[in-house]
């Protein structure tokens, strides 16, 4: 079983739609969680950190469920510019090395 | 405020040659990570360094690959005797390392290595 698993997609949604991604992780001792966004042939860029209490940044909401070992990302009112690959990241204890999921591709259609 | 810088951005090597990838972290960051991304795959951790020390190299192949982060100058990822399977994007990330669990890593633009 992979340490971090994501549905690769692609998720094709119309502009204005709400879309949600889940990501599961296998190590119950994982401590930090993030969503990064990666555009084609570019570097990953931090979208948001994921806190136990959940957090929201504009149209984006992230949730963490430690009991079920998954994190989620909700995007409301999708824009064309949201088209990208969304990477789920979990860090191991101690070294903070990132363990990436393979990413979920989102295409927002006009 | 310069972000993480990597050079070269593109590197072409023939099989058997050496590839040398450089990474300059964000000013003030003393933690550097290297990741590799194969086409259509996610990023995979290779090595974690602090100034003059390798902290974790568990993701780096034991042969042909080495990394360093000297007291002065950029971090270097060195691949000797490259093979076609080394063709990938290599991303460097940096972090200050003193702000707790939710501290994030900042990624450079990557070096795309093509081995002919």
Mean pLDDT of chain A: 92
In this prediction, residue B1 has a pLDDT band, given cuts at 50, 70 and 90, of low
Specify whether the CB–CB gap between B35 and B109 falls below 8 A.
Answer: no
| CA atoms of A38 and A59, how far apart (whole Å) | 18
The minimal CB distance from B42 to the residues A43, A45, A101 is found for A101
Q: Which residues pair with A71 in a beta bridge?
A: A23, A64
Instruction: Compute how many other C-beta atoms are within 10 angstroms of the C-beta atom of residue B116.
Output: 10
Closest chain B residue to the Cα of A93, Cα to Cα:
B101
B39 CB near a chain A CB, below 8 Å?
no
Taking CB atoms and an 8 Å cutoff, what residues of chain A touch B57?
A: none
B105 versus B100: which is more confidently predicted?
B105
Of A27-31, A53-57, B10-14, which range is least confident?
A27-31
Specify whether the CB–CB gap between B21 and B87 falls below 8 A.
Answer: no
Span A41-71, pLDDT tens digits: 899 999 999 988 889 999 999 999 999 999 9
Beta strands in A1-110 (DSSP E): 4-6, 11-14, 19-25, 32-38, 45-49, 55-57, 60-65, 70-75, 84-91, 98-100, 104-109
Whats the size of chain B, residue-wise?
116
Per-residue pLDDT for A81 more than 60? yes
The minimal CB distance from B102 to the residues A32, A43, A45 is found for A32
pLDDT the model gives residue B24: 96
The share of chain A scoring above pLDDT 70, in percent, equals 97
């Amino acid at each position: 079983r992979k340490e971090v698993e994501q549905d690769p997609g692609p998720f094709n949604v119309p502009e204005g739609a709400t879309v949600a991604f889940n990501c599961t992780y296998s190590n119950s001792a994982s401590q930090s969680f993030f969503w990064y966004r990666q555009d084609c042939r570019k570097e990953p860029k931090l979208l948001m950190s994921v806190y136990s209490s959940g957090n929201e940044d504009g149209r984006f909401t992230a949730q963490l469920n430690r009991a079920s070992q998954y994190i989620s990302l909700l995007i409301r009112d999708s824009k064309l510019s949201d088209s990208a690959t969304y990477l789920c990241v979990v860090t191991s204890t101690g070294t903070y090395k990132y363990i990436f999921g393979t990413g979920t591709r989102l295409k927002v259609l006009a | 405020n310069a972000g993480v810088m990597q050079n070269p951005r593109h590197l072409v090597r023939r099989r058997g040659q050496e590839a040398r990838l450089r990474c300059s972290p964000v000013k003030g960051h003393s933690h550097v990570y290297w990741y590799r991304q194969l086409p259509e795959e996610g990023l995979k951790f290779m090595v974690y360094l602090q100034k003059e020390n390798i902290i974790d190299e568990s993701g780096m192949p034991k042969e042909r690959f080495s990394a360093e982060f000297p007291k002065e100058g950029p971090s270097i990822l060195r691949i000797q005797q490259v093979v076609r399977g080394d063709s990938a994007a290599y991303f460097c990330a940096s972090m200050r390392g003193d702000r707790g669990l939710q501290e994030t890593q900042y990624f450079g633009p990557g070096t795309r290595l093509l081995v002919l």
